[in-house]
Structure 1
């Protein structure tokens, strides 16, 4: 699915407040480091420097990119970049500065941007003064005609601020750091940040499951949400289904921790998760029909997570009158209170899951 679309979520003050909540306290070490462009390119090629997969890819024009290369060549200052040191791998994750880095790497490579429709233009400096000695030059031209300039470029220094989380020992601060530094002028949704930071097997699974036809019918949206909020719903199910007892608000940090924990799960885990979600989708769609969680004023995340958790626990024990039970529960004031107020409070979350399991399957 290549098109995008947005889910019509029900407005919920608790959910909105949760998404905007302040981060917990962290002990963070930040220190400057000066790297030459040649060293940065070497780290990138060896995968020691990681530019995460992210929705906003290289967006600079060739003129913008050329101006940056010219700044290095003439010795003008260039804004610093921010890198995050992952605790386990010691790799450097680019938090802010991918446009600057990609520009340098593309120029050394000789081509501008990624290949499109089999074409990839030569990266020649454009938008400069025609009197500039670098006007229209590719890196190959510099090597052949002005070796000193080529050497100066490779030895140009780009200052980086290295960020390392000291406490707690879980690397969760990266989500908040990325959210604040790499905004590109637009506030990122939480799942967009997770997508950038956690690029392992579990993230791939979430995207695969998000495209399931049964799931799209449950959401009432055949096309993908442009901000990955549908992907986040898949994550929300797994997190509450398997870590409910350890849940603490805010919900967004709980989901981030869960995703970080399962980032690189092996095939056995991924296979079991895939089957669990697929079977639950099939059962919910079969018994409750399309768009079953639009029972008030749009898609209600709390109705969804509690019902999905309950169904997944009882796939072999679904009552014949489950649709009637669900309709009766949805119309009760008790259930409405559980899914429309304080929906991210720890006890409220656990209570609504218990309530739905009891009403629908006991």
Structure 2
């Protein structure tokens, strides 16, 4: 069993957000109260932003040393070679270039690119001599295309430049604005910054943002467990969800094992849990894995496949209280658990139904839901000695 003392404490808030459905999404039920909670005002921050005049050579060195990272959802490089060539020429002939914005992670001191990845990658690709990502194991040689044929830089690669021009390019400055969160001491502002980014018209799901903001061994473990066959049977899809809603459900399960720490909104609560536990001790990580695997196996054995698809889709409120209940009673599951579950979720059980359909992430509603589920599924009904 997981020792609550080994789970990093959180004092945050969080809410589960329902977004417009994508063709590959898991069919989650649209829980009205959760949508309303997303509209709650974000916390206020004290942010320190200051300019830094890095040379292109320094930025390239930081990139090669992995001191600059581009969030996963930003990683598509969309510029054509002509656009990138015009940027390089601007540096060489002394024209101004728009600044980039970098976020400093407090713990690692690495930079996350907030804005400017196309410019940065163009520079790095030119220094490396190859343009873009690999296609069928090959990359284009980066020569300056689309310039005037009279330009002395026309069609030149970095290696074709004379030493003076190479040094000139090395010493060019790309102004960078560095963003640091000073208060509160939790780095949640980066989540809200990325949440507001223009991502080509696609609204990012919460877990897609956490996936890059809170990188670490917990994130890796969640993606590993997301492939578990028993878990896929619970979710009802053979392949992981493209928007990582299944990963978010697992995170919700782990975070609500310690329900006493819960504070709404759910979104911030989950984010703070993931940040606080982003690199758990090896023993704790193994405990997470064992508990989740055993819980999934037991739920499938007792309730069958897709047990939380109460209506059209998977109901996350039913999921969290029942999964956590099973996790805490793995050695004492009643023999009539299936009958108890059917009684719990039948439409006539209006008291429980209200807790999974209205204000589901309200603190008192959530605690009531967990209490009712625990009492009706695992409480003493005269046959507690008959374990499953």
SS at match of 2:356: helix
Structure 1 unaligned blocks of 5 or more: none
- What is the aligned partner in structure 1 of residue 367 from structure 2? 350
Structure 2 distance, partners of 1:353, 1:55, is: 38
The two structures have a TM-score, normalised by structure 1, of 0.92
1:334 counterpart (348, 351, 356)? 351
**Residues 323-332 or 291-300, more deviating:** 291-300
**Residues 24-33 or 338-347, more deviating:** 24-33
The one-character-per-residue Cα deviations of 1:47-86 (angstroms, maximum 9, x if unpaired) are 3333344464333333332232233223333222211122
SS at match of 1:133: coil
- What is the aligned partner in structure 2 of residue 64 from structure 1? 83
Size of the aligned set, in residue pairs, is 355
Q: CA deviation at 1:263?
A: 1.1
**Structure 2 residue 275 is matched with structure 1 residue 256:** no
**Structure 2 residue 193 is matched with structure 1 residue 177:** yes
**Structure 2 residue 21 is matched with structure 1 residue 26:** no
Which aligned pairs between 1:203-352 and structure 2 lie closer than 5 A? 203-242=219-258, 244-331=259-346, 332-352=349-369
SS at match of 2:134: coil
Structure 1 distance, partners of 2:287, 2:198, is: 34
Q: CA deviation at 1:45?
A: 2.2
Which aligned pairs between 1:126-205 and structure 2 lie closer than 5 A? 126-142=145-161, 146-181=162-197, 183-205=199-221
SS at match of 1:10: coil
The one-character-per-residue Cα deviations of 1:26-48 (angstroms, maximum 9, x if unpaired) are 11111122211111112222333
- What is the aligned partner in structure 2 of residue 121 from structure 1? 140
Structure 2 distance, partners of 1:41, 1:355, is: 57
- What is the aligned partner in structure 1 of residue 25 from structure 2? 6
Structure 2 distance, partners of 1:41, 1:329, is: 59
Q: CA deviation at 1:139?
A: 1.0
With over 3 angstroms needed to count, the CA separation of the structure-2 counterparts of 1:233 and 1:32, relative to structure 1, is same
1:83 counterpart (90, 99, 102)? 102
The two structures have a TM-score, normalised by structure 2, of 0.86
Q: In 2, are the aligned partners of 1:85 and 1:164 still within 8 Å (CA)?
A: yes
Structure 1 distance, partners of 2:222, 2:274, is: 10
Structure 2 unaligned blocks of 5 or more: 1-22, 380-388
SS at match of 1:112: strand
**Structure 2 residue 376 is matched with structure 1 residue 359:** yes
The one-character-per-residue Cα deviations of 1:255-293 (angstroms, maximum 9, x if unpaired) are 010101111223212111111111111111121111111
With over 3 angstroms needed to count, the CA separation of the structure-2 counterparts of 1:199 and 1:134, relative to structure 1, is same
Q: In 2, are the aligned partners of 1:52 and 1:199 still within 8 Å (CA)?
A: no
With over 3 angstroms needed to count, the CA separation of the structure-2 counterparts of 1:21 and 1:208, relative to structure 1, is farther
Q: In 2, are the aligned partners of 1:5 and 1:223 still within 8 Å (CA)?
A: no
